[in-house]
A and B are shown apart, each in its own frame.
Chain A
Amino acid sequence: MKQISVVIVNYNGVHYLQSCLDSIYASNAENFVVDVIVVDNCSGDHSVEFIKKSYQQVRVMTNDLNNYVRAVNLGISHTMADVIVLLNNDTIVQKNWISGLVETMQEYPECGVVQSKILFADGTTVNSVGVNEIEDFYFKDTGFGEKDSGQYEFIKEIEFFSGGSVAIRRQCLEQVGNFDEDFLMFFEDIDYSIRCRKKGWKIYYTPKSVVHHRYHGTATTELSNYFCNRNRFLCIAKHGPSSLPRSIKSSHFFLNDDLNSLYSSLLEASKILVARHEDEVVHSTLCRLKKELLDLYETRKVYNFFAQLELLLGIRRIKIGIYDHAFHFSGGGQRYVAEMAKILQDKYDVTYIANKDMKLSQYMDWYNIDLSKCKLKILKIPFFEKINEYTINESAVLFEDNNPFDIIGDESLNYDVFINANMLSKVKPQSIYSVFVCHFPDNKRGRFFHVDDYTAIISNGSYTSSWIKKKWRLEPTHVLYPPVDMYNTESNSRNKKNIILSVARFETTGSKKQIEMARTFADMVSRDKILMKDWTLVLAGGTFPGNPYFDKVKNTVSSLHCNIELRPDVTYEELRTLYRDAAIFWHACGLKEKDPHRVEHFGMTTVEAMQNFCAPVVIDGGGQREIVEHNISGFRFKTLAQLQEYTKALVSNIERRYEMAKNAYERSHNFNMDVFKAKLEKIFDEIETELKGKPIAIRK
C-alpha cells in the first residue's frame, strides 16, 4: 500500500479538528497508509490535548512560534512518504480525496504539485480550483464564488496553486526546497508555485479530489489583508524586483492610506531585493523606489528609510547621537548621561553633540568615566553665539521667527537614535528613533515645543513621570533611575558613630533646608540632653565662594551652640568616610514647598547613604517616596516634629536602627549601577528590535 503524509497546521482550531480528521479517515484512506501530522502553532485552546486524547494515530507537533509557514516546514520535515499533502484545519474532505490527488500525480509524471477542488462549506460554491494572476502581482482564486455546475470537472495545468489542499511530490520538494518562512502566512503558495515552475515542475488541478473549506476560519480578514499586501511586496522583491517601485501605487496600503504598513513592508521587501539580486537591478530599483517614496513621505522619512535599510541588512552598527546642551557644565544630569554613554559605547557608535568648545578628555576627567569609544561633535548655535551667551537656555528664545535649535534637529538626522539628554524641549528630532531624557519638566508647553515628536521619553523616577503627565500630558515610556554606586566594604550596620548626616548642595534658594535641619537638631538636643548628648549633626555639601545661603547656615549653626559640623565641598574620600561613620541620614529637600520643581526629584544622596547602612529619615515627598519604604527601610516625615520623633526612635532603639539600616541597604540595591545597566540594555534591546527587527524564524 502507498504511504501518504498529511500535514495539517492548527491554530486555535480545536472546534474544526474533529470534523477534519474524521473526514480524512472516512475518505478512502483504507487504500493508503495515511500518516497524519498536526503541527500546532502555539494554540491557546486545548487542541493538542484534544488530538492526543481522541486521535492516538495522529502525530502532534508544536511549533515554537506562531508562524504558519514555519509550521508547514516543520510538519514536512517529519514526513517520509513520497507524496505529502498539505491541508487546512478548517476543511472537511470528501470521499476519494487522497486517491484523486495520487492518481493525478501518477498520471502526469512532470507534475510536482496537484491541487484539489476546494469548495466552500455549502458544498456548491467554488472557493478555488487554482490561482491566477490578475495583474501587477495581484492574484485571484480561479472560480472563486462561482456555482459549481460542472465547469471545472477536468484536470488542467495551472500557474499557481492554493495551499488549502495540495499534494507535493517528494522529488519536487527536494529540488525546490522548503516554503519561505519570511511570508509567515499567505502568498507562500504563490512563491512556491513560481519556484516550482522555475525548476521545471508543472502544477495541476484535479476535480477528483474535493474538500469543503470554511473561508478564513482561522485567520481574521484584517490579518489576511495585512499579510496578503505585505507578502505581495516580498514576492515582487523576490521574483519581479524591477516592478517594486510601480507596485506601490497599486497596493492596498497606499490606497487605504496605511502609510505605516506600506513603509515597513517596503523595507522588508527592499531587504530581500538587496540580498537576492544583482547590483545593477538593485541600484536601478532603489533609485526608482527613492523617487516614489519622495512623492509619498517627507524627505526625512525617506532618508530614514534607507538608513533603516542599512540596519536591516546588518551592514553597519547603530549610530547614536547624544545631545547635551549643558555638556560644558559639570552636574548630576551630565553624569547620568555619561554613565549611559559608557554602557552604550561598546555596542553602538556613540557621538556626543555639544554647543560649546570643550574636549571629551576634560569631560571624562570630571566624571572619571572612560568614554574613549565615543566621539564629540561641537555644533555651535548661531543664536547663542550672537548674543554671546555661555549658557544654552531655551527660555532665551522669545520672539524668534525660526527655531534656533533647528540646527540640532537637522544634525539628529545623521543618527539612528537621537538622545536629547538634558531635556531641551525645543529640539525637533529627525532620526528614526528619538529619546527624550527628562529629569523634571521645567518648561511649559510653548512655541517650538517638540517633546511630542519623540519616540520615547525616559524619566529619572516616578515623581518626574507624574509631573510629565500633569504638565505636558505625555506618558513617559521608561523610568530609569540614576545609577548610584557608593558601596563601601568597610561599612556595616553596627560599626557606626553617633552621627546624623545630611548631604546636599548649599543651594542659594535654601531648597535643601539645612537651616531647618540645624534648628530641629538643636531643638532635639535641648529637649533630650541625655539621649542626644553624644550625637553630632554633619551638614555636608557643595558650595561656592560668597554663597549667601552658606553664610546664613554658618551664622545659624554658630548661634545654636550644639554639635553641628559644617563640611562644605568635601572630597570624595571624605564623603565616603562620612557615609561609613554616620548612623542616621537626614534629607529634607521639599519641606513646606508647593513648587514641585523645588522638591527633590530623586535623591541620589539618600541611596548613597543607604548603601552604607545609614538609617534614612527623609521627607515624605518627591523621589524619596520611591526610595524609602516608610517604617521598613527608613522613615518618611511630613513635618519637623515627625523628623524629631522618628530620629528619636532610631537613637533610643539601637536594634531597630540596625534592622532598618540593613533593610535600607537591601533596598538600595534597586538603584545601583547593575540595575541601571540592565534596564538601559533592556531599553536599547527594544530600540534595536524596533530599528532592525528580529529574524522571523528563531530556532529554539
Chain B
Amino acid sequence: MLDVIRSNFIRKIIKARKIIHAEGFFVFFRKAVRRLYWELRNKYWHRTNDDKMNYRESVNQATRYCLLKKTPTTNLADKNPKAVLEFLENLKKQIVEANQEKKP
C-alpha cells in the first residue's frame, strides 16, 4: 500500500516539475488548483445513483411502465426498411456534422 502511495506521489512530483519547467509556475499553479477543485467536487458534490433512483422512484409506476417498456405494435408494413434506415442514418450524420461545426 505504502509503495503505491509513494509511487503515485513521486509520479505527481515528477510531472509537476516538468510542467513548471516547461510552462512556468503560474500555469502549474492554475492546473493544480483546477485539479484540486475537480478532486473535491467529485468527492463531495457528485451525483450518486441514489439520486437517480430517487428520481426514478418519484415517477409514477404506471408512467415508468410506459416509458418505452411498452411500445406501439405498429410495424413497417410495406415500407422499405433499407430506405428508412438510410434516411435516419443520414439524419444522424447531419446532427454530428452540425455539432462539429459548432465546436471552435
Residues of A within 8 A of B83 (CB): 279
Within 8 A of A (CB), among B50-104: 50, 53, 59-60, 62-63, 66-77, 79, 81-85, 87-89, 91-92, 94-96, 98-99
* Closest chain B residue to A468, Cβ basis: B49
Q: Are A446 and B95 in contact (CB under 8 A)?
A: no
The interface-forming segment of A130-138, A155-163, A199-207, A313-321 is A313-321
| Whole-angstrom CA separation of A121 from B74 in the bound complex | 38
Please tell me if the beta carbons of B63 and A222 are within 8 angstroms of each other in the complex.
yes
B11 partner residues in chain A, CB cutoff 8 A? 395-396, 398
A272-295 contacts to B (CB < 8 Å): 272, 274-276, 279, 282-283, 286-287, 290, 294
| A274, B92: Cβ atoms closer than 8 Å | no
Q: Whole-angstrom distance from the CB of A579 to the nearest CB of chain B?
A: 33
For the complex, give the distance between the alpha carbons of A149 and B30 in Å.
77
Q: Which residues of B contact A282 (CB under 8 A)?
A: 87
Q: Assuming A275-B76, A294-B98, what are 10 further A-B pairs, CB within 8 angstroms? A: A184-B66, A264-B68, A267-B68, A286-B88, A290-B94, A303-B92, A396-B11, A398-B11, A399-B16, A696-B73
Report chain A residues within 8 Å CB of B46.
Answer: 445, 449, 452, 473
A-B pairs with lowest CB-CB distance, top 10: A693-B71, A447-B38, A182-B72, A315-B81, A299-B99, A399-B31, A275-B74, A445-B42, A693-B68, A695-B73
Task: Name the one of B70, B77, B82 contacting A693, with C-beta atoms under 8 angstroms.
Answer: B70
Instruction: Offer 25 A-B interface pairs, CB within 8 angstroms, sorted by A.
Output: A182-B72, A184-B66, A184-B70, A222-B60, A226-B62, A226-B63, A261-B63, A268-B72, A271-B72, A274-B79, A274-B84, A286-B87, A306-B88, A306-B95, A307-B92, A314-B76, A314-B81, A445-B46, A447-B42, A473-B46, A473-B49, A474-B49, A475-B53, A595-B1, A697-B73
Contacts of B75 in A (CB 8 A): 275, 314
- Contact count band on A: 35 or more
Min Cβ gap B42→A in Å is 4
B69 pairs with A446, CB closer than 8 A: no
Docked complex Cα distance between A601 and B85 (Å): 44
| A268 in contact with B68 (CB, 8 Å) | yes
Which range contains the number of B residues in contact with the other chain?
A: 35 or more
Contact A694 B70 (CB under 8 A): yes
Q: Which of A181, A230, A271, A282 has the most CB of B within 10 A?
A: A271
In the assembled complex, the CB of A194 is this many whole angstroms from the nearest CB of chain B, namely: 16
* Nearest-CB residue, chain A, relative to B87: A283
- Which residues does chain A contribute within 8 Å of B19, judged by CB atoms? 399
Give CA–CA (A223, B61) in the complex, Å. Answer: 9
> What string of 1s and 0s marks CB contacts (under 8 Å) between A363-393 and chain B?
0000000000000000000000000000000
B101 to chain A, nearest CB (A): 11
Candidates B1, B48, B67, B76; contact of A452 at CB < 8 Å? B48
* Distance in Å: Cβ of B32 to nearest Cβ of chain A: 7
Question: Of the candidates B15, B42, B50, B71, which one forms a contact with A271 in the assembled complex, judged by CB atoms under 8 Å apart?
Answer: B71
For residue A268, which residues in chain B have a CB less than 8 angstroms away from its CB?
68, 71-72
A287: chain B residues at CB < 8 Å are 91
Chain A residues numbered 680-700 whose CB sits less than 8 Å from any CB in chain B: 689-697
CB within 8 Å: A-B pair count: 157
- Complex CA–CA separation, A316 to B75 (angstroms): 14
- A35 close to chain B: CB less than 8 A: no
How long is the Cα–Cα vector from A222 to B66 in the complex, in angstroms? 13
Contact of B69 among A312, A413, A474, A693 (CB under 8 A): A693
B residues lining the A interface (CB < 8 Å): 1, 8, 11-12, 15-16, 19, 28, 31-32, 34-35, 38-39, 42-43, 46-50, 53, 59-60, 62-63, 66-77, 79, 81-85, 87-89, 91-92, 94-96, 98-99
Instruction: Give A430-448 interface residues, CB cut-off 8 Å to B.
Output: 444-448
Please determine whether B85 and A310 come into contact, CB atoms closer than 8 angstroms: yes
**Taking each of B11, B34, B60, B92, which has the highest tally of chain A beta carbons within 10 Å of its own beta carbon?**
B92
Interface residues, chain A, with chain B CB atoms under 8 Å away? 181-182, 184, 220, 222-223, 226-227, 230, 234, 260-261, 264, 267-268, 271-272, 274-276, 279, 282-283, 286-287, 290, 294, 299, 302-303, 306-307, 309-310, 312-316, 395-396, 398-399, 401, 413, 444-449, 452, 473-475, 594-595, 689-697
- Select the residue from B16, B19, B62 with max chain A CB neighbours within 10 A: B62
Verify A399–B15 contact, CB threshold 8 A: yes
Residue of A222, A313, A396, A697 ringed by the most chain B CB atoms within 10 A: A313
When distances are taken between beta carbons in the complex, the residues of chain A under 8 Å from B94 are 290
The answer to whether A401 and B84 have CB atoms under 8 Å apart is no
Q: How far is the CB of A244 from chain B (nearest CB, A)?
A: 14
Which residue of A226, A290, A316, A695 is within 8 Å of B85 (Cβ)?
A316
A310 touching B42, Cβ below 8 Å: no
Q: With the chains together, A396 CA to B12 CA distance in Å?
A: 9
Q: Which residues of A contact B98 (CB under 8 A)?
A: 294, 299
- Would A312 and B71 count as touching, CB distance under 8 A? yes
State whether A181 touches B66 (Cβ < 8 A). Answer: no
Cross-chain contact of A398 among B35, B71, B72 (Cβ < 8 A): B35
Contact between chains at B60 and A315 (CB < 8 Å):
no
Q: How far is the CA of A448 from the CA of B34 in the complex (A)?
A: 12
- Contact between chains at B74 and A290 (CB < 8 Å): no
CB contact between B42 and one of A230, A413, A446, A595 (< 8 Å): that residue: A446
Known contacts A303-B95, A313-B76; is-contact A475 B49 (Cβ 8 Å): yes
User: Which residues of the other chain, A, contact B91 by a CB distance below 8 angstroms?
Assistant: 286-287, 290, 306
CB distance from A468 to the nearest CB of B (A): 10
Smallest CB gap from B86: residue in A: A315
CB-defined contacts of B68 to chain A, threshold 8 Å: 264, 267-268, 690-691, 693
A315 touches B48 (CB 8 A): no
Please, which residues of chain B bring their CB within 8 A of the CB of A473?
46, 48-50
Q: Which residues of A contact B81 (CB under 8 A)?
A: 313-315
A689 contacts which of B1, B12, B69 (Cβ < 8 Å)?
Answer: B69
Bound-state CA distance A98–B40 (Å) is 72
A271-B76 Cα distance, complex, nearest whole Å:
9
CB pair A395–B95 under 8 Å, yes or no, is no
Bound complex: CA A670 to CA B27 (Å): 55
Q: B71 touching A395 by the CB < 8 A rule?
A: no
- Using CB atoms, name the residue of chain B closest to A271: B72
Q: Provide the bound-state CA to CA distance between A593 and B99, in Å.
A: 51
B88, A398: Cβ atoms under 8 Å?
Answer: no
Are B95 and A474 in contact, CB atoms less than 8 angstroms apart? no
Report the separation of the CA atoms of residues A497 and B3 in the bound assembly, to the nearest whole angstrom: 41
Q: State A23–B40 Cα separation when bound (angstroms).
A: 68
Chain B residue nearest to A396 in the complex (CB)? B11
Chain A nearest CB, measured from B69 CB (Å): 6
A398 engages B76 (CB within 8 Å):
no
**Chain B residues in 8 Å Cβ range of A220:** 60
**A271-B71, A313-B81 in contact; A226/B66 too (CB < 8 A)?**
yes
